[in-house]
Amino acid sequence: MKQSYQEGSWFAVPLLDGGYGWGLVARLSPGSKIMLAYLFGPKLARLPSVEELNTLRPQDAVKVLRCGDMALASGHWRVLGEIDVWDPAMWPVPQFLRRADALKRAWRVTYADADPSRSEREESVPYETEGLEADSLYGYGSAELLLTKLLEGPDHPINRAPANRS
């Protein structure tokens, strides 16, 4: 089911073990293939109202990431409605960190405010730099797995290391 969405659209992310997390489309690339999304919890068994979602703020996000929009375009991630007041300046594009582990080098990556698919600047930073999200482009399955892990407790089987699973 093809559905309509834009910057400022709220959407539901189905979690792997049932229930939902939430997202907001903060930026769309021209042609709508890549988006910047703010992702939220808590995990709920039901879909919230847009009024409930409109109480969320950028600082409430559990993750900000770049991902493809195929799940939105196909209807796999259900669009729930639009934010009450869309102001892109309130939902900024963060800087990301790209690491080359083999080289022990890192770069702070800045994406274009109007296009989350276009890197505007890469600046060399110390390899040990912290506090920035990893510079990755998630597919929707990876985003669902990540959000499931973030919204479940540390003792949940999905968050146990493979060696610790019984």
Predicted confidence (pLDDT) per residue in 58-91, tens digit: 999 999 999 999 999 999 999 999 999 999 999 9
Handedness of CA 93, 138, 10, 73 (dihedral sign): positive
pLDDT for position 2: 65
pLDDT at 102 over 70: yes
109 belongs to a structural domain? no
pLDDT for position 13: 97
Identify whether the C-beta of residue 76 lies closer than 8 Å to the C-beta of residue 13. Answer: no
Predicted confidence (pLDDT) per residue in 14-28, tens digit: 999 899 999 999 999
108 belongs to a structural domain? no
- pTM for the whole structure: 0.89
Confidence bin at 152 (pLDDT 50/70/90): confident
21 belongs to a structural domain? yes
pLDDT at 109 over 80: yes
Strands 63-68 and 34-44: antiparallel
36 belongs to a structural domain? yes
Average predicted confidence (pLDDT) for the chain: 91
29 belongs to a structural domain? yes
Of the candidates 30, 46, 36, 41, the one whose C-alpha atom is nearest the C-alpha of residue 9 is 36
Burial of 26 (0-12, 13-18, 19+ CB in 10 A): buried
- The residue type at 113: D
57 belongs to a structural domain? yes
1 belongs to a structural domain? no
Name the maximum alpha-carbon separation found in the chain. Answer: 48
119 belongs to a structural domain? no
pLDDT for position 164: 45
Give me the domain span that covers residue 73. Answer: 9-91+137-164
- Count of domains forming the chain: 1
Predicted confidence (pLDDT) per residue in 35-50, tens digit: 999 999 999 999 999 9
